[in-house]
Structure 1
Amino acid sequence: MELREIEIFLALAEELHFGRTADRLHVTPARVSQAIKKQERAIGAELFKRTSRNVQLTPVGAQLRDGLMAGYQQIQEALATATAAGQGITGEFHVGYATAWCGDLIVAAADTFRARHPDCLIHIYESPMLDPLGPLRDGSRDLQLVELPIDEPDIVNGPVLFSEPRALIVPADHPLAERETVSVEDLAEAPLVSITGQPQYFLDLHYPQRTPKGRPIPRGPSTTAWQEVLALVGAGKGISPTSARAAHYYSRPDIVYVPFRDAPPVEYGLLWSATGNIPKVRAFVQTVLETAGQETAAVRR
Structure 2
Amino acid sequence: MPTALGAITGMELRDIEIFLTLAEELHFGRTAERLHVSQARVSQSIKKQERHVGAALFERTSRAVRLTTIGTRLHGDLRQAYELIRTGLATASGTAQGTHGALRLGVIGAMGNEIRPLTEAFTARHPSCSVEVAEFHFGDPFAALRADDVDLQVMWLPVREKDLTHGPVVRTEGRALAVPEASDLALRRTVSLEDLAGRLTPDPGPETWLREMFPTTTPNGHPIRRGPRARTCHELLALVAAGQVVSPVNAHFGRYYAYPGVVFRPIHDAPPTEWSLVWRTDRETPLIRTFARLTQAHPH
Rounded to whole Å, the distance in 1 between the matches of 2:124 and 2:268 is 42
CA distance 1:88–1:241, shift in 2 (3 Å): closer
Residue pair 1:147, 1:269 contacting (<8 A) in 2 also: yes
Which letter maps to 1:144? Answer: Q
Amino acid at match of 1:268: W
Q: Aligned Cα RMSD in Å?
A: 2.4
Deviation (angstroms), 1:184: 1.0
Aligned length: 210
Larger Rg: 2
What CA distance in whole angstroms lies between the structure 2 residues aligned with 1:94 and 1:182? 37
Which residue is 2:126 aligned to? 117
For the 8 Å contact 1:91–1:121, the answer to whether it is kept is yes
Aligned to 1:171, which of 166, 177, 180? 180
Residue 160 of structure 2 is aligned to residue 151 of structure 1: yes
Query: TM-score scaled to structure 2, two decimals?
Result: 0.63
* Aligned counterparts of 2:270 and 2:230: Cα–Cα separation in 1: 23
Q: Is the 8 A contact 1:184 1:262 kept in 2?
A: yes
Structure 2 residue corresponding to 1:87, chosen from 94, 97, 110: 97
> 2:272 & 2:189 partners in 1: Cα distance?
18
Distance 1:83 1:115 in 2: 19
Q: Which amino acid aligns with 2:94?
A: A
Residue aligning to 1:77: none
SS for the counterpart of 1:261 is coil
Please tell me the residue identity of whatever aligns with 2:199: A
**Deviation of residue 105 (structure 1)?**
4.3
For residues 113 and 165 of structure 1, the distance between their equivalents in structure 2, rounded to whole angstroms, comes to 26
Instruction: Confirm or deny that 1:98 pairs with 2:108.
Output: yes
1:243 aligns with 2:250: yes
1:82-128 deviation per Cα after TM superposition (whole angstroms, max 9, x unaligned): 9836626434321111241x212444333333344344443210122
Deviation above 6 Å: which 4+ runs of structure 1? none
**Counterpart in the other structure of 1:137:** 146
What corresponds to 1:287 in structure 2? Answer: 294
Normalized against structure 1, the TM-score is what? Answer: 0.63
1:110 partner SS: helix
Contact 1:96 1:127 in 2 (8 A): yes
Residues 84, 217 of structure 1: CA spacing in aligned structure 2 closer, same or farther, 3 A cutoff?
A: same
Does the CA contact (< 8 Å) of 1:94 and 1:143 recur in 2?
Answer: yes
- Give the gaps of 5 or more residues in structure 2: 1-90
For 1:180-259, list aligned pairs within 5 A. 180-196=189-205, 199-200=207-208, 202-259=209-266
* Structure 1 Cα separation of the partners of residues 231 and 176 of structure 2: 20
1:195 Cα deviation from its structure 2 partner: 3.7
State which drifts further: 168-177 or 102-111.
Answer: 102-111
Cα distance in 2, alignment partners of residues 124 and 162 from structure 1: 17
Q: 1:139-183: CA deviations, max 9, x gaps?
A: 221111111210112111101222211111100011111011111
Taking structure 1 as reference, are residues 126 and 184 closer, same or farther at Cα in structure 2, changes over 3 Å only? same
Residue 279 of structure 2 is aligned to residue 269 of structure 1: no
In structure 2, C-alpha distance between the alignment counterparts of 1:130 and 1:252, rounded to whole Å: 20
Q: Is the 8 A contact 1:210 1:217 kept in 2?
A: yes
Where does the alignment leave 5 or more consecutive residues of structure 1 unmatched?
A: 1-80, 297-301
Contact residue 200 and residue 244 of structure 2 kept, 8 A: yes
